[in-house]
């Protein structure tokens, strides 16, 4: 009986000591947080400067990723619109059209083949150039028309035209169906393809410029936070000496400076994410007017905004923690 009582008493003492340790850790943690927040609000000018620069840094990162996503989506949309016209003889029969279409569709690089009749080609020509009645009459009297029936070939990748060129140049049946007007010969290039290449170059340039700008501003942010923490250490030097004399834990002394640095990253992340979201939403109608594909990014932002915010906070916190660690390691001698 006495053994059981002693066992229960021992278990109770262990539990009590465990609770005390947890309570002590909680009190230490809350004090570190309070000291860090107090230090954050102590020097308004340094705090404002560090937060503003960090906000600009994270906004550049957000904008770079958004720009790359939008341009990449635009390129994908334009790829689906690119078609290579293969002009056919004006007197081609439906049977010949079906045979040539079948051969083209069998190619692994071809997504689809659409037939444009002579009448549809004529209407497209009129809609594009809007000629007068006299000009139309003159065109009708020409020995060769500037338009012809055609097969519009859409490729998986507009840059991969080798198999299509080989088929058009070497297949006898396809060659016999081609229009003999040199001006209507297959060129395997087009305005949409050039637009895709241009936007692809823009996407690559935007990614590189954004990456470099992000690195520069991350370095500036780290430098400003580094100096802010250095000033905080200098301003609290008497308090730090007192903590060292009474035997305060090293982590307790260092902790408030890390908390202060994380505060910069947290506030900057919230501000930059909010500015980035509202900026994108306000610019979206104008971008859509220029044919820029913004809907995929819009849907992702509306659905995944918590993940975006957490990612921005994590990035801001990492920048702050690294800066604080460097400053504490150099100037806080414990």
Q: Once rounded to an integer, what is the mean pLDDT over residues 267-287?
A: 93
Question: What pTM, to 2 d.p., does this model score?
Answer: 0.69
Task: State the sign of the Cα–Cα–Cα–Cα dihedral 146, 149, 152, 158.
Answer: negative
> Percentage of the chain surpassing pLDDT 90?
14
Residue 193 scores a pLDDT above 90: no
Q: Given this model, what pLDDT does residue 50 score?
A: 84
Categorize the per-residue pLDDT at 143 as very low, low, confident or very high, splitting at 50, 70 and 90. low
Q: Please report which confidence band the pLDDT of residue 308 belongs to, taking 50, 70 and 90 as the band edges.
A: very high
Task: Round the CA-based radius of gyration of the chain to a whole number and report it.
Answer: 34
pLDDT at 232 over 60: yes
Q: What value does the mean pLDDT take over residues 77-94? A: 81
- The H-or-E segment that residue 111 falls in is strand 110-116
Q: What crossing angle do the helices spanning 44-81 and 191-235 adopt, rounded to 10°?
A: 160
As a whole number, mean pLDDT of residues 226-243 equals 80
Q: How far is CA 1 from CA 11, 47, 129, in A?
A: 16, 65, 107
Percent of the chain topping pLDDT 70 = 84
Phi/psi zone of residue 130: left (φ > 0), alpha (ψ -120 to 50 degrees), beta?
Answer: left
The domains located in the chain, with CATH, are 30-77+196-331 (no CATH), 83-189 (3.30.70.3040)
Please report which confidence band the pLDDT of residue 328 belongs to, taking 50, 70 and 90 as the band edges: confident
What per-residue confidence (pLDDT) applies to 318?
92
- Return the pLDDT at 202: 75
The whole-number average pLDDT for the span 128-157 is 72
Are β-strands 84-87 and 110-116 bridged in parallel, bridged antiparallel, or unpaired?
unpaired
Taking the C-alpha atoms of residue 92 and residue 289, their distance in angstroms, rounded to an integer, is 40
How far is residue 122 from each of residues 88, 89, 119, 296, measured CA to CA in Å? 14, 14, 5, 36
pLDDT at 247: 73
């Amino acid at each position: 009986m006495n053994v059981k009582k002693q066992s229960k008493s021992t278990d109770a003492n262990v539990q009590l000591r465990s609770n005390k340790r947890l309570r002590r850790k909680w009190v230490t943690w809350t004090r570190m947080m309070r000291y860090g927040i107090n230090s954050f609000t102590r020097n308004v000018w340094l705090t404002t400067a560090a937060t503003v620069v960090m906000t600009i840094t994270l906004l550049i990162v957000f904008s770079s990723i958004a720009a790359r996503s939008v341009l990449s989506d635009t390129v994908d949309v334009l790829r689906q619109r690119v078609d290579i016209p293969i002009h056919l003889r004006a007197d081609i029969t439906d049977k010949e059209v079906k045979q040539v279409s079948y051969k083209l569709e069998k190619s692994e690089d071809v997504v689809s083949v659409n037939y444009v009749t002579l009448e549809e080609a004529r209407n497209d020509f009129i809609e594009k150039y809007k000629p007068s009645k006299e000009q139309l009459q003159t065109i009708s009297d020409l020995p060769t028309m500037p338009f012809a029936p055609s097969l519009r070939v859409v490729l998986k990748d507009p840059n991969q035209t080798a198999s299509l060129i080989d088929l058009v140049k070497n297949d006898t049946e396809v060659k016999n169906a081609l229009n003999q007007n040199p001006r209507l010969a297959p060129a395997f290039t087009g305005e949409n393809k050039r637009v895709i290449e241009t936007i692809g170059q823009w996407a690559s340039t935007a990614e590189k410029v954004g990456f470099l700008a992000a690195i520069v501003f991350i370095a500036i942010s780290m430098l400003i936070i580094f100096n802010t923490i250095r000033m905080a250490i200098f301003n609290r030097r008497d308090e730090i000496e007192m903590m060292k004399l009474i035997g305060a834990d090293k982590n307790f002394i260092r902790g408030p400076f890390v908390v202060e640095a994380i505060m910069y990253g947290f506030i900057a992340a919230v501000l930059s994410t909010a500015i980035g979201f509202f900026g994108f939403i306000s610019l979206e109608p104008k971008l859509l007017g220029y044919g820029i594909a913004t809907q995929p990014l819009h849907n992702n932002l509306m659905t995944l905004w918590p993940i975006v915010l957490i990612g921005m906070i994590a990035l801001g916190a990492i920048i702050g923690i690294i800066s604080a660690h460097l400053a504490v390691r150099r100037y806080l001698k414990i």
